[in-house]
A = this chain, B = another copy of it.
């Protein structure tokens, strides 16, 4: 386990009691990074933080309501279902100025979640940027990773495509993905979120078609010394 450096930015996981958010919080706590778990229900967030502290006693973990969590973090990671993306962002917007917002939203439209149905804005990440405003550096990532695998403490056989308009912000998120045990890549400007978001429906389709497994993706063709 890595030690918690005093310079580690606090990571707020808004929606952190859900499957993906909880899995990321677990991985970052395991890596020794300070984490704040946010939930609509502060008590649920506190309980999730307590549970992770029991597993990782050295971890710096707190739980609180989503807005307080967003205020507490230097990097805010949004991990709520697509239907909750807009109201949650509108709630936490006052806490986001000057920060990196990591949008993980996949615009799945039930019941046909194995079918790509990108929003008219182009991507969920574009919606996040519209709501958050220009003072927020939106980065999109973690669309394709299996939440189950994050919780299982297994090696993760899925790469993370990290998109955003500011290279320095992307670099922070590439580092967070690596701290969580994932291989991660700079994947271009925020519009490119459409690729990663759409790919999730493909992976859901393939999970069904090929037998209920957790499919993922690997980027090939990059020499070891360029990684």
By a beta-carbon cutoff of 8 Å, the part of chain A in contact with chain B is 114-118, 122, 146, 157-158, 161, 163, 185-189, 191-196, 198-199, 201-203, 205-206, 209-211, 213-223, 226-227
Contacts and interface: CB of A to CB of B under 8 A. Distances in A.
B220 A205 contact: no
Given A186-B209, A198-B198, A210-B226, A191 B115 contact: yes
A128 to B, nearest CB: 16
Nearest to A187: B202
A159 to B, nearest CB: 9
Contact of A195 (B195, B216, B221): B195
Nearest to A163: B202
A5 to B, nearest CB: 27
B217 A218 contact: yes
Contacts of A188: 114-116, 201-202, 205-206, 209
B226 A161 contact: no
Contact of A211 (B163, B198, B223): B223
12 contacts: A115-B191, A116-B192, A116-B193, A187-B202, A187-B206, A188-B202, A188-B209, A211-B222, A213-B226, A217-B217, A217-B218, A218-B218
